[in-house]
Amino acid sequence: MMNKKNLEVYVHIPFCARKCAYCDFLSFPGNQQMQREYTEKLIEEIKCQSAKVKEYQVISVFIGGGTPSILSIGDMAAVLHALKEAFEILPGAEITMEVNPGTVTAEALSCYREAGVNRISMGLQSADDKELRYLGRIHTYDEFLKSYQRVRMAGFDNVNVDLISAIPGQTLESWKNTLKKVTMLKPEHISAYSLIVEKGTPYFDRYGEHGNMEKCHSLKSLPDLPDEDTEREMYYLTQEFLNEQGYERYEISNYSKNGYECRHNIGYWTGVEYLGLGLGAASYLNGCRFHNTPSLDEYCSARLDQEEAFQRVLRQEFEQLTIEEKMEEYMFLGLRLMKGVSAHGFVSNFGHNIRSVYGMVLDAMEEEGLMEYKDGYYRLTSRGIDISNYVMSRFLK
């Protein structure tokens, strides 16, 4: 029997109840008819795409958005069933679904679990209701608690909570309070990101370097972002506090209890191939990068069983990576992990010794105290993590 290659699958559900002011993801509100049409097209895509990857076995699935839990129970059940029918999903594969507080019921959670979902990722962002309003979130902390309880009652024993620091009006004390409240709930995993003000969002108009206050009239009353020193203190507090509570930092912004690291994300950071399904979803297969159309009209109207339409809609910006580009990506993604980049893995992937390619850069980074070699891995030091963007850029030509 042929040894099958490992594949990760990402499924994009673009719908949300309301677009958050800081969000630059491909997401938008959509009525039930729109969601139903999208679900039908997504199932069609699942069948067509799976026929192209018969030499792969799926080791993880991540259903993200948007807000996947906004779909009706019937539509989500149909998507999960289609995935199981179309792909060879390994027993024990990690299957994650994002849910937002206030959009998930006990009945829905029971359905997800029966359909094979074994990991839930919840978007909280802050335990302070005022800060949640500033972010444009649709829920309160109390609604999050009720949703979290439903998730536990449904039997999920692998739960992630997403948090954002350095948001408008946030203080060191309020951020610590969020960390305290969340760790008391004992989720298995915590993702703690610092707010990035992205172009094309209302937050960019309000807080960007060349902001346009006329475009974001509704956000004028929002408080300022924390200053750089406070943001840095929040960053250090996150590491220290979560470590004290038994969460190990295994990636720059991710912490987990032992054995609960997100396998899907580790796959991204270590070069596992992935297939993106749904609107705008990105893929990396056979050394090629491409993505689906971001146009809902084009996606929903395409005849994906016709090869011309399949290629035009689901293989946009198709790019074959050179060996040099693959090595660069392996380095700057792998260095996000606290463990670092495996010297042996580099040889296995590329047939070159890591030092023959990057010896001068590695030596320079070690001399500057930004990297170290330990147990077969090249990794960032504490100082290197602080300026990780600079270190990673040194591996790009």
Summarize pLDDT for 62-120 with one digit per residue, the tens: 999 999 999 999 999 999 999 999 999 999 999 999 999 988 999 999 999 999 999 99
What angle, 0 to 180 degrees and rounded to 10, lies between the N-to-C axes of helices 323-334 and 354-367? 40
Tell me: pLDDT of 211 over 90: no
CB 193 within 8 A of CB 166: no
- Per-residue confidence (pLDDT) for residue 208, from 0 to 100: 79
Task: Yes or no: say if 330 and 272 are a contact pair by the CB < 8 Å rule.
Answer: no
Domain covering 5-269 in this structure, CATH number: 3.80.30.20
Q: What is the pLDDT of the chain when averaged over all its residues?
A: 94
Separation CA 391–CA 397 (nearest Å): 13
Segment 207-231 shows an average pLDDT of 77
pLDDT digits (tens, 9 = 90+) for 24-71: 888 989 999 999 999 999 999 999 999 999 999 999 999 999 999 999
Residue 289: exposed, middle, or buried by beta-carbon count in 10 A (0-12, 13-18, 19+)? Answer: middle
Domain 324-393 annotated CATH 3.30.70.100 = no
Alpha-carbon distance 254 to 251, whole Å?
A: 5
pLDDT for 270-285, tens place per residue?
999 999 999 999 999 9
Query: Burial of 24 by CB count in 10 Å (0-12 exposed, 13-18 middle, 19+ buried)?
Result: middle
Q: Which of 170, 180, 182, 163 is nearest to 230 (CA)?
A: 170
SS3 305: coil
- Domain ranges in the chain are 5-269, 324-393
Q: Given this model, what pLDDT does residue 19 score?
A: 82
Q: Is the alpha carbon torsion for 91, 93, 94, 99 positive or negative? A: negative
Residue 51 CB-density burial (10 A; 0-12 exposed, 13-18 middle, 19+ buried):
exposed
Judged against a pLDDT cut of 80, whether residue 210 lies above it is answered with no
Percent of residues, the chain, with pLDDT higher than 90: 86
Q: What is the largest CA-CA distance in the chain?
A: 64
